[in-house]
Amino acid sequence: MRNVIYQYWDGPTTSGNDAGVAAMAEYASRIGADYVYEDNPRWQTNLGNYSPHYGAFKPIYTEKYHEYDHVLFADTDVFPILNLEENIFEQFYDTDIEIGICEEWQQPEVRKIHNLGGICNANDEKWVSVIESLFDVKMPRADNGAPRIYNSGVVVYSNAGLIKAKKKFKKFSHYVDIINSKGFPPFYTCDQPYLHAMLEVCGFNWKTMDYKWNSSVHYVPGTKDPRPVNDLRDNANFVHVQLRNADNFSAKKLETVVNNPVKEWNL
Domains of the chain (ranges plus CATH)?
3-105+148-175+203-261 (3.90.550.10)
* CA–CA dist 205, 75 (Å, integer): 23
Task: Provide the total of helices (H) and of strands (E) in the chain, helices listed first.
Answer: 7, 10
Closest C-alpha among 177, 207, 185 to residue 88 = 207
Which pLDDT score is estimated for 259? Answer: 98
* CA–CA dist 44, 179 (Å, integer): 17
Q: Report the 10 Å Cβ neighbour count for 99.
A: 23
Q: Mention every residue, 6+ apart, whose C-beta is less than 8 A from residue 231.
A: 217, 261, 262
Which pLDDT score is estimated for 234? Answer: 86
Does the pLDDT value for residue 115 go beyond 90? Answer: yes
Q: Mention every residue, 6+ apart, whose C-beta is less than 8 A from residue 10.
A: 40, 41, 42, 52, 55
Mean pLDDT of 138-162: 97
What is the layout of strands, in order, in the sheet containing 70-74? 34-39, 3-9, 70-74, 150-158, 99-103, 206-209
Confidence bin at 144 (pLDDT 50/70/90): confident
Closest C-alpha among 205, 118, 228 to residue 157 = 205
Query: Residue 122: is it exposed, middle or buried by C-beta count within 10 angstroms (0-12/13-18/19+)?
Result: exposed
Q: Report the 10 Å Cβ neighbour count for 71.
A: 25
Sequence-ordered strand ranges (E) for 52-174: 70-74, 78-80, 99-103, 150-158
132 near 138, Cβ under 8 Å?
Answer: yes
pLDDT tens per residue, range 214-267: 999 999 998 988 899 999 998 999 999 999 999 999 999 999 999 999 999 987
Which pLDDT score is estimated for 266? Answer: 83
